[in-house]
Structure 1
Amino acid sequence: MAISLGYTSNALVRHTVEHDPEALSKAVKDPKSALILLAGDQPVLQAGEPGTSLLPFSTLDRLSAHKEQVFLGVLGDRPIIATLAAPEAAELFQEPAHVVTDLRAIATRGLVPVEELGILAMAKSILDWHNRHRFCANCGAPSQAAQAGFRRDCSSCGAQHFPRTDPVVIMLITRGDKCLLGRQPRFVEKVYSCLAGFLEPGETIEDAVRRETFEESGIRVGEVRYLASQPWPFPSNIMIGCQGEAISDEINFDREELQDARWFSKHDVRRMLDGTHEDFAAPSPIAIANHLLREWMKD
């Protein structure tokens, strides 16, 4: 059975900063427009089996106020507008017709069609960026949303600021028929996953894989190859999935980063993926770490 990575499907014709700066004001007036509404960092959904994150634009009438709005793009002939409301707005949607929950739960529980997850990830990432970047990084003055939400401008010094995505390398390190997995204390019970870490300035993806693996586990890595990527909107990362070949065996893991790290056989991984291992479990199917493990098991 094919496993769909969470947040990777997005059929929007995206708006970008180079496009019409008045696109948002036009979309607000378009009767076909759909609304994605976040109460703090939690999307508001219309309940159903599955439900949908694409709400009627009139849903905003429930709110006395909202924060930034962003014109995300067009889905078919429907303009899609993402809107940020205060966390307290969730209290207005407690009836059975709506669901307010976090984006991880939406993906793992299948609360909306898979095709909407990428749109939700896009909306959450850019609205979170607005919420965290209300002041100019150049001079400290307040900044304002511009270009339909794809830029913030400082009227004081003229600086322009753009949404950012932080790259993270996530790697399945293998040596023969075994692979290296680690566990952090915050993980769900029994779950072991691929090692991961942020790409640093001036660093290649390959070198980041080697550095992070050595820092976290003490294992040296030789050849590295790219496999796949995944948007990860917590708050706004791109997970760069790789496989690396270990050139050493002895694990000496960083106890401030990891609770444990160990080698796993393909027999173990197979049972972790199908949920029959008595001691260990694989990451969620929506996560790229699960995908990396499944790809390795095909070899």
Structure 2
Amino acid sequence: MFGYQPKTEIGAEILNPIETPHTFAGNPIDRGDTLRRDESEIAGLMRSDSTQVLILAGLDPLITSSDDTTANLGWLNYKSANELVGSEPILASFLGIDAEGNPLVAWNVKGSARHGSEQIPESATAKLNLKLCDARESATVISGEETGILSQARANLGWHSTHLFCARCGDPTEMRRGGLMRQCTGCNGEHFPRTDPVIITVVTDGDRCILGQSAGRLSAMKMYSALAGFMDHGESMEEAVRREVWEEAGIRVGRVQYHSTQPWPFPSSLMIGSHCEALTTNVDMDDFEMTDVRWWSREEVLLALAEKSEVLRVPGPIAIAHHLIKAWATGKAGNFRTS
């Protein structure tokens, strides 16, 4: 389109060599690192005739509204996006270049799917067959590759919205390299978007696994999931698994078997999935963080995955927890008896 050859030939099936690429992974676009080195070129790409814009309100995206079961991200050309918003967005971030050579940009404006947006009122988006949709809900109806794009857009814009001032001197910061960093206008300090690593693991002693219910979202949903927690400084993935399981369940863990990772843009985590071997079996739950932690049989877990259990609910396929639990329940991972 402008002499740049996008590197988009690597598909999701290569980037994610697991049975089913996770939701929020599989982003197919070329993020244009070399283009980002020229601020004037990036500024032009973010406003060109071929630029495609994804508008978010409160980090919830516009999606197509013609079908309740399948949808697409609501891309607009730059002119149409400007006409819809009517003013400059709160934040604009350069995502990269698609396979056709079009620059892709994400805007974040005021509002949300739940409360609506004065900048992009429903009456205006409906004329374009678009609607605001909760980010989690949208991920269940758009394609896998588009969930990867949404993940990038949401996490990047969310980080920028909370780093408008320098952590070193307090002066305002400005976006640079199309969103890959911010630079302080006072001390020139450079700040880069962060991704928070989180371990999530299924503990097993053979034909049983431990699932827990945290005191927040899971408790409200009456749902059990794999144990999870943020990694600490100076800690390997395996060490974080052993520490978190001990803290939340009072179980000592031996071998740890890596499974896969999932970007989780709420706000900007990387879920590092694994299975691990229980060395002890007596549960001593941390009742500050957890409302319940218990052993579940393989039979009950299989019923829960099929939504037929009367006593156990587990996360759906949008979450890596579902795939970790399923991999163990179907015997495809977490078999420490023969490993």
- Structure 1: segments with no counterpart, 5+ residues: none
TM-score of the superposed pair, with normalisation by structure 2: 0.83
Q: Pick the aligned partner of 2:40 from 5, 13, 22.
A: 22
Match of 1:210 among 242, 249, 255: 242
Measure the CA separation in 1 of the matches of 2:239 and 2:228: 13
Identify the residue that residue 83 of structure 1 maps to in structure 2. Answer: 107
Which residue of 2 is the match for residue 94 of structure 1? Answer: 122
Cα pair distance change 1:14/1:93, threshold 3 Å: same
From 46, 56, 59, the equivalent of 1:41 is 59
Q: State the match for 2:29 in structure 1.
A: 12
Whether 1:61 and 2:83 are equivalent positions in the alignment is yes
Deviations 1:173-206 (A, max 9, x none): 1111100000124225442100000000101100
> What is the identity percentage for the equivalent residue pairs of Structure 1 and Structure 2?
37
Report the counterpart of residue 3 of structure 2 in structure 1.
Answer: none
Q: Deviations over 1:103-132 (max 9, x none)?
A: 111123x1x222211000100000001100
Q: TM-score, normalized by length of structure 1?
A: 0.94
Structure 1 residue 6: Cα displacement: 1.1
1:27 offset after TM fit, Å?
1.6
1:166 to 190, 196, 200: 196
Question: In the alignment, residue 42 of structure 1 is paired with which amino acid?
Answer: D
Amino acid at match of 1:60: N
**1:225-257 deviations in Å (ceiling 9; x for gaps):** 211000000000000001110100000111111
Deviations 1:235-284 (A, max 9, x none): 00000001110100000111111110100111011000000001111111
Counterpart of 2:302 in structure 1 is 270
The residue number in structure 1 matching 2:230 is 198
Shift of the 223–160 alpha-carbon distance from structure 1 to 2, 3 Å rule, reads: same
- 1:238 counterpart residue number: 270
Cα separation, 1, equivalents of 2:117 and 2:144: 23
| Paired residue type of 1:276 | K
- Residues of 2 paired with 1:41 and 1:194: CA distance? 27
8 Å contact kept, 1:16–1:150: no
Cα deviation, 1:25-52, whole Å, max 9, x if unaligned, reads 2223432221111111211223233332
**Contact kept in structure 2, 1:143 and 1:155, CA below 8 Å:** yes
Q: Distance in 1 between matches of 2:64 and 2:175?
A: 28
What SS does the corresponding residue of 1:60 show, helix, strand or coil? helix
Q: Deviations over 1:195-222 (max 9, x none)?
A: 0000001011000000000000101101
Q: How far apart, in 2, do the equivalents of 1:177 and 1:141 lie? A: 56
Any residues of structure 2 matched to 1:216-227 within 5 Å, and which?
216-227=248-259
1:93–1:99 Cα contact (<8 Å) kept: no
**2:161 equivalent among 126, 131, 155:** 131
User: Is contact 2:256-2:277 (8 Å) kept?
Assistant: yes
Point out where structure 2 has 5 or more consecutive residues left out of the alignment.
1-18, 332-339
- Superposed CA deviations along residues 50-108 of structure 1, whole A, max 9, x for unmatched, are 33222332222222231221111011122100112122772434144222122111123
